[in-house]
Amino acid sequence: MTGGTSGIGRAYAAELARRGHSVLITGRRRAQLDAVARSIAAESGVTVEPWIVELGDPRARTAFLDRVRQCRPLDIVVANAGFGYAEPFVNGPLRQAEAMIAVHVTSVVELFHAVIPTMIDRGCGSLVAVSSLASHLPVPGGETYVATKSFLNSFCESLAVGLSPYGLRVQTLLPGFTRTDFHRYDPDFAARRSAVRLLHWDTPETVVRASLVALDRNRTVCIPGWRNRLAARLLALLPRTLVRALMRRTAAR
Ligand SMILES: NC(=O)c1ccc[n+]([C@@H]2O[C@H](COP(=O)([O-])OP(=O)(O)OC[C@H]3O[C@@H](n4cnc5c(N)ncnc54)[C@H](OP(=O)(O)O)[C@@H]3O)[C@@H](O)[C@H]2O)c1
């Protein structure tokens, strides 16, 4: 489980531990990650191992992957770590876009590549990548975010088709607004809070429950919550020219 310090990853780790799985959780906030591991282990009675890793750092990823390859049996791998805020792509620092691509794309590709052979040998296993409902939208200012999440949608759909004959399940999870630490780095978020307050917010626990129910039913794409599913359906019906015009208006406000 990448990104177990808080939010969706923490809820995922807690639920999997409750179901009796030993869990390896990653993060960068050491004190918080250790506290989460201790608390989930105490509540569930299973082993919860914290692993500090900056997923934007290739050397740290290699050490993490070496540890993951030693984990047996590997029932489920959840690529959840991610962040939303970066300075603007246009006229902003390129390294922020590169860091986001490393965390949202490269680290997931490497992680899945490292575990798939073991899962194929065993004839079972599940891979989950946490994308975002926003991946269906053109988002000025969030270009790299939505593009990296779109990559996950496409990557996992192909993996799901290719790996199903081997007994593996692959899911892309597309949450809508979820109450987590995700928005804490965004300096403008407080200013926009009154607008987004009107939207529906899920809890990380609801998102994880929906994901696991969908996984049991072997659903390749999971959009948690009927409001989000309805929004996704409506969006798919709209001409993209209209979607772009709407997003242009939203961005101009
Ligand atoms: N919350 C939402 O509204 C929402 C909506 C759609 C999709 N999502 C997706 O859900 C996933 C989980 O986010 P969340 O909402 O649960 O937010 P969160 O509470 O901020 O959790 C993000 C997790 O990712 C880890 N992480 C972030 N950047 C990292 C990096 N460079 N290296 C290693 N670990 C890193 C964080 O670890 P540390 O904090 O310890 O560094 C933390 O454990 C993300 O992929 C996000 O894109 C969230």
Please name which of 168, 147, 148 lies closest in space to residue 158, comparing C-alpha atoms.
168
User: Is 207:11 a contact under the CB 8 Å cutoff?
Assistant: yes
pLDDT at residue number 26: 98
* pTM, two decimal places: 0.96
Token pair listed for 61: 């990823």
Ligand 1 pocket check: which of 24, 25, 78, 80 to mutate, most ligand atoms within 8 Å of Cβ?
80
- Which residue ranges in the chain fall short of pLDDT 70? 187-198, 252-253
Q: Whose CA is nearest to atom 46 of ligand 1?
A: 82
What is the three-class DSSP state of 118?
A: helix
Q: Cα(11)–Cα(25) distance, rounded to whole angstroms?
A: 11
Q: What is the pLDDT, as a whole number, of residue 78?
A: 98
Give the pLDDT confidence score for residue 249 in this predicted structure. 87
Nearest to 12 by CA among 129, 182, 102: 129
Q: Is the CB of 3 under 6 A from ligand 1?
A: yes
Asked if residue 68 lies in contact with residue 61, where contact means CB atoms within 8 angstroms, the answer is no
Where does the chain have alpha helices with state H? 7-18, 30-44, 58-70, 94-101, 107-122, 143-163, 189-197, 204-216, 226-237, 240-252
Residue 145 near ligand 1, beta carbon < 6 Å: no
Q: Does residue 171 line the site of ligand 1, with CB under 6 A? A: no
pLDDT of residue 146: 97
Neighbours of 108 (CB within 10 A): 26
- For the residues of 130-163, what is the DSSP string, one character each? E--GGGGS--TT-HHHHHHHHHHHHHHHHHHHHH
pLDDT value of position 70: 95
For residue 5, which of 22, 23, 21, 25 has the smallest C-alpha distance? 25
Based on the number of CB atoms within 10 Å of its own CB, is 121 exposed (0-12), middle (13-18) or buried (19 or more)? exposed
pLDDT tens for 37-65 read 999 999 999 999 999 999 999 999 999 99
Q: Measured from the CA of 81, which atom of ligand 1 is nearest?
A: 24
- Quote the pLDDT of residue 208: 98
| Chain center to CA of 135 | 12
Whether residue 96 contacts residue 87, with contact meaning beta carbons closer than 8 Å, is answered with: yes
Give pLDDT, residue 72.
86
Sketch the domain layout of the chain as residue ranges. Answer: 7-252
7-252 CATH choice from 3.40.50.720, 3.40.309.10, 3.20.20.70, 3.30.930.10: 3.40.50.720
The protein residue whose alpha carbon is closest to atom 41 in ligand 1 is 28
Contact between 119 and 168 (Cβ < 8 Å): yes
Q: What pLDDT score was predicted for residue 85?
A: 84
Q: Which pLDDT tens digit goes with each residue over 178-222? A: 999 998 777 666 556 556 666 789 999 999 999 999 999 999 999
84 C-alpha to center of ligand 1: Å? 8
